[in-house]
Structure 1
Amino acid sequence: GITPKLVAKEGAEVKAGDTLFYSKSDARILFPSPVSGIVKEVIRGARRKVLAVKIAADATQSYKDFGTKNADEMLAEEVKDHLLASGCWPFVKQRPYDVVANPNQAPKAIFISAHASAPLAADLAYTLAGKEAELQAAITAVSKLTEGLVHVSVGANSSSPLANLKGIAVHKVSGPHPSGNVGTQIAHIDPINKGEVVWVLAPQDLLVIGELLLTGKLNLTRTVALTGSQFSAPQYVTAVSGAAIADVTANNLKDDNTRIISGNVLSGKEVKMAEFLGYYDNQITAIPEGDDYEFFGWNKPIFNKISTSRALTFSWLSPNKKYDLNTNTNGEHRAFVVTGSYEEVFPLDIYPMQLLKAFMYKDLDEMEALGGYEVAPEDFALTEFVCVSKQPHQKIIREGLDLMREELG
């Protein structure tokens, strides 16, 4: 939801925390450099749209000093101003629309999901271990931005470092994905009605805010999980937000025929080796590229593929079998058919098929009435996975939400 206006020019020296660009719609929303170094290149696309800013990082990092703060003594406006000035505001996302939060609105509650249920997701109990002081400082600060509660969801059986913090309402979550999606938790705990706003933060972003308050430095280093069958050694690595994929995955990928995804397989973004780790991601997934085609593959019984229905495959005979899934959709894009399969995997009390169709033909009244304010693209990741019509559900939802935001505000 951001149109960038560039501040840093090519050849400029920057420190970690210096502003690279800001939002055209609100000049207070700054995006900082994750490293110190020299701006090597600004890559632009059609109509001079800024696509990327490349920075050659220094061997020894130098940080812009934002000053240490005591979260207990800060007022709500001071917290907001500090997050805006330091470039941490983009970590605060809002529902409806799933975009960077509007600082002029007050949220009725803040939600943090510390239960990662997505496929092969990084274990937050491991990546956040020993960081209780930073997490508490961040929670204390952001809790002043709302008159409502700060809802933190943790795994029912996990030893999450967030579970014992002060100033939060803790919820125990269990069950299969998408139980860890923050949209699912909002729907069950405090659903969004028209005119209401909820803010969302991710646990690894809370660490950045907490460290900023305690040390005065903007440290965008995070623990990243390298997952998927195409990694020779799946492991945790330390990387800076925006790091080149080629550096993070160096000497670890099996062969060329690989799809690299920044994020998880269901809702992540496909990236090339020359591209970078996503701003909100702490996972890189590598799976085989499914560009092989079977002769008469649709016309014979199949024993080595997974299927949510019983059509042609026998995966239901061995429900605990594990599969090395690739990117092949096993079918082509075709018209929507009513199968009832979406409702089986969709977590919200909404009609997914009807909402998708309303988003496709851009009927704003229906989009509102069917629950458009409550959804984000990631909520439709599983319906896209089981879709027999091979429709791009998340793309449809993203485009529809952008239209709603534009037209309805």
Structure 2
Amino acid sequence: MYLTHIKIRKGHNIRISGSPVNEYYNVEKTKTVSIQPQDFRYVKPKLLVKVGDKVDIGSPLFFDKVQPDIKWASPGGGEIKEVILGERRSIQNIIIELNKEENSIIHSPIKYQEISSLGKSKVTDRILEANLWPIIRQRPFNKISDPNDNPRAIFVSGFNSAPLTVNLDFALRYKQSVFQAGLDILNQLSEGGVHLTFEADTNCEALTSAKNVNLHTVIGPHPSGNVGVQIHHIDPWKPNEVVWVVNAQHVLTLGDLFLKGIYDPSIVGTIAGPGVKNPAHIKTRIGANVETFLTNNLHSDDNRIISGDVLTGKETNINGYLGYYDTTISVVPNSDEREFLGLLKPGNEQTRYSVTNAFLSLNKNTFNFTTQQSGSLRPMVPINSWEDVLPMDIYPNALYRSILAEDFEEMEGLGLLECDEEDFALCSFVCPSKIDVGSVIRYGLNLMKDDG
């Protein structure tokens, strides 16, 4: 059932070169996979395995001391090769060396017709039993949800608007039945139902023909694909409520779990950015080794490799691993070159990238971005640059100041609990003062979480 059409006017699509084509690039099969517990906020992991242990796809690797029922499934079958510890013996990385023939933990499959009659309790138990609960996150705080909560609704964003990310129309092609099963599973978990959003001009049947969910179309620049922005425009968060969110490709994971009885860690990803020779989509899996994507596919060796998109991703390296919630590897050339008196050079939309030029110009050329920031942190200049790219009814300048002042009442009143740092990533990008606004938003959320 179509409910709303959302038109986002504020925002910005960054014209960065190296966008992935809608074709699959053949990559090597990864020999190792990894789960990185630091990908999960507010989790206190306790290991269930040690180096040398044999694991199957779906075997539990660790659990959360705070919520012991929540465990993490192995994305591969093989042997625990290494457990990397950080400060105070915090678990940084669990690396699994894959067998040539991988085994999976098998659960009893469920017929599609039976899914709608399972009820919340049975669906929850099955997901917990399969160690896949971490794919369901909640707002506020964008953390792993509590299985005992009753969410007001569940949101699934059916498109990515962030630069260089996966085209979900392409990724969900020919997967209509599994995707529908995943939506029906989520429908059992909330009395408020499931909200599915997608671009108004999509032709992906898995999205447009979805049943038993509330359908919403969205048009506009990034961050229109962010689920937080969609929640804000469709059914804004209210105090003392929780809303659950699930990535579109994780909906497929749930569908496979119930229909086939197995955990399928495969995903469609992208390798993209100015540093990549052949930017394209790839078939890979959660936690795959980055080197398998980029071998013989980089213009140079001096790059910043990012797990995730260029606005919100986490820096990694050629020997690193894809993050649990990430589907993109972005590569941007490193640069420390500075232009003498660059501020005084006039330039134009052909030679210089600016948000103003991008808004006003008819030129659609892409730009070879580098890691050069063209300046360092400087005093805050409130000239509405943040407001112009934040399509939410929130005052970002006032919110930023209240967080620095650690004024809890003001933070909550200004809507902090409705926010996540990804929604403010463009504010950081356009900020003339070079302020990392997103990290301040996360700092505020952490303060609120610690305060209870």
How would you bin the TM-score normalised by the shorter chain?
A: over 0.9
Residue 10 (1) aligns with residue 51 (2): yes
1:255 to 300, 315, 319: 300
Mapping for residues 8-407 of structure 1, pairs under 5 Å: 8-70=49-111, 71-160=115-204, 161-303=206-348, 304-309=351-356, 319-407=363-451
1:375 Cα shift? Answer: 0.4
1:120 Cα shift? Answer: 2.3
Question: d(CA) in 2 for partners of 1:175 and 1:120?
Answer: 16
Question: d(CA) in 2 for partners of 1:371 and 1:144?
Answer: 29
1:32 Cα shift? Answer: 0.9
The range that moved more, 291-300 or 389-398, is 291-300
Amino acid aligned to 2:249: Q
1:158 Cα shift? Answer: 0.5
1:153 Cα shift? Answer: 0.4
The residue matched to 1:145 in structure 2 has which SS? coil
Contact kept in structure 2, 1:193 and 1:373, CA below 8 Å: no
Structure 1: stretches of 5+ with no match in the other structure: none
Contact kept in structure 2, 1:110 and 1:199, CA below 8 Å: yes
Question: d(CA) in 2 for partners of 1:133 and 1:316?
Answer: 43
Contact kept in structure 1, 2:428 and 2:435, CA below 8 Å: yes
Tell me the alpha carbon deviations over residues 317-373 of structure 1, each in whole angstroms, 9 at most, x when there is no partner: 564332111221111012222111111100100001111222223221111000011
Contact kept in structure 2, 1:22 and 1:28, CA below 8 Å: yes
Contact kept in structure 2, 1:113 and 1:153, CA below 8 Å: yes
Which one has more relative contact order, counting CA pairs under 8 Å at least 6 apart?
A: 2
Contact kept in structure 2, 1:306 and 1:315, CA below 8 Å: no
The residue matched to 1:238 in structure 2 has which SS? strand
Question: d(CA) in 2 for partners of 1:315 and 1:73?
Answer: 50
Aligned to 2:9: none
Cα RMSD, aligned residues only: 1.5
Question: d(CA) in 2 for partners of 1:405 and 1:249?
Answer: 38
The residue matched to 2:401 in structure 1 has which SS? helix
Amino acid aligned to 1:378: E
Question: d(CA) in 2 for partners of 1:403 and 1:274?
Answer: 34
Aligned pairs, how many?
A: 405
Tell me the alpha carbon deviations over residues 15-47 of structure 1, each in whole angstroms, 9 at most, x when there is no partner: 010000111210111111100010011100000
The range that moved more, 284-293 or 344-353, is 284-293
1:176 Cα shift? Answer: 0.9
Amino acid aligned to 2:392: L
Question: d(CA) in 1 for partners of 2:360 and 2:156?
Answer: 35
The residue matched to 1:327 in structure 2 has which SS? coil
Question: d(CA) in 2 for partners of 1:279 and 1:242?
Answer: 6
1:58 Cα shift? Answer: 0.7
Q: TM-score, normalised by structure 1?
A: 0.96
